Structure 1
């Protein structure tokens, strides 16, 4: 039997950018995330500045850095927009930092459908609106209320042309896209493709969910 402290076996790193109450910008790296269609689920601390902003504004931008931006992401480690620093983060050595974009060398870019900023340096930027907040571990009296997981609806996607598949303006080429991965608190990138995938024989368009309609993206 094994009881590891965490189960971060390897997930993409994202930078979630939100708008503070004074119209300044906050950005936080997280790696608890997954997508289904144009829906996204993230897990964050219930006492974080990101959670506070998300609940207040109902929106955010999911920015995906590539492996090339690892230094930029690492500059945000152990920083929080919350002041005072929550007790749980104090014990881990976090410090308050109100100028997240400046210390990481990130450039804010205006979004098209929401007010939260995009991060110019990230090859993928997804504007999102909050659909639902859920409490994690509601069955555990000690854990209850510490972590939330939020369902987000992606309403607009921006991607660098350099990562797109030749001849397909709406498809990412996995041979060109090199996401930043976190595994047990360490940064990693992807290697070369290991094997041809039988699943890849299914046309990607067949995964497009029924709710997707470019005409409705502005709503």
Structure 2
């Protein structure tokens, strides 16, 4: 008898299968976003983060307290939050070992290097925003111009929690339900960072009773 559990499935009897563990990180499946912020000299910093979630028109961001993005948002609140698609994970990974800070912060020495032009380093193209100074990432299907309304350290003092109010959303028309203001969840998948590995979403399992997305069959 095969007792193996298929990947992504929970054991049949979860009550008897738990073991205590101590993970080094708790990235249990969160979207990757690329943050564009303005440096003191007017140039642009582009950084990937993997702690972001939305509450209404507010995006909550978690970033390292020593990074250039944290420094920029403390002084200049405008930011663009661009969401890459799963296939764009190599560009995200090209950004991952880069920092816009010089000298490189102590916590990043040895694994990171300073890079002034991160767009070029990641082979991405800046696209002008309409309401804020930092540019959007042209290749990303979903982009949000925003302003950081609250910036504060977390309880550990190691991270910065940013509450950014979204001012304008830009979407690739291929991921929008035709004739509506809704993102089509069957056409759009965020890039997910799951315990330091990149994933996209799987097939739809169902939808919430609160969903307002029009019936996609009408637009098929």
Output the TM-score relative to the length of structure 1: 0.85
Match of 1:213 in 2: none
- Tell me the CA shift for residue 45 of structure 1: 1.1
Identify the residue that residue 34 of structure 1 maps to in structure 2: 53
Q: Aligned equivalents of 1:204 and 1:22: distance in 2?
A: 43
Q: Which runs of 5+ in 2 are unaligned?
A: 1-19, 214-220
1:204 offset after TM fit, Å?
2.8
Runs of 4+ in 1 over 2 A off after TM superposition: 201-205
> What is the CA-CA distance between 1:202 and the residue it aligns to?
2.5
Question: What does the per-residue CA deviation read over 1:164-199, in whole Å, with 9 as the maximum and x for residues that have no partner?
Answer: 11332x1001100021111111111111112x22x2
C-alpha distance in structure 1 between counterparts of 2:87 and 2:122, whole Å: 14
Partner of 1:166: 178
How many pairs does the alignment contain?
Answer: 194
Distance in 2 (CA, whole Å) between partners of 1:9 and 1:36 is: 19
Q: Does 1:81 align with 2:97?
A: no
| Distance of 1:189 and 1:150 partners within structure 2 | 25
Larger Rg: 2
> TM-score, structure 2 length as denominator?
0.85
Query: 1 CA distance for matches of 2:123 and 2:189?
Result: 20
Q: In the alignment, what sits opposite 2:15?
A: none
Q: Which residue of 1 aligns with 2:162?
A: 150
Looking at structure 2, the residues matched to 203 and 191 of structure 1 have their Cα atoms a distance apart, in angstroms, of 18
- Given the alignment of the two structures, is residue 65 of structure 1 paired with residue 73 of structure 2, yes or no? no
Contact kept? 2:148, 2:162, Cα under 8 Å: yes
Offset of residue 71 of structure 1 = 1.5
The residue that corresponds to 1:204 in the other structure is 212
Superposition deviation, residue 68 in structure 1: 2.0
Determine the C-alpha separation between the residues in 2 that align with 1:203 and 1:63.
Answer: 23
SS at match of 2:202: coil
Of residues 188, 192, 198, the one that matches 2:199 is 188
Preserved contact between residue 147 and residue 166 of structure 2 (Cα < 8 Å) = yes
Unpaired stretches in structure 1, ≥5 consecutive residues: 138-142, 206-219
Secondary structure, counterpart of 1:125 in structure 2 = strand
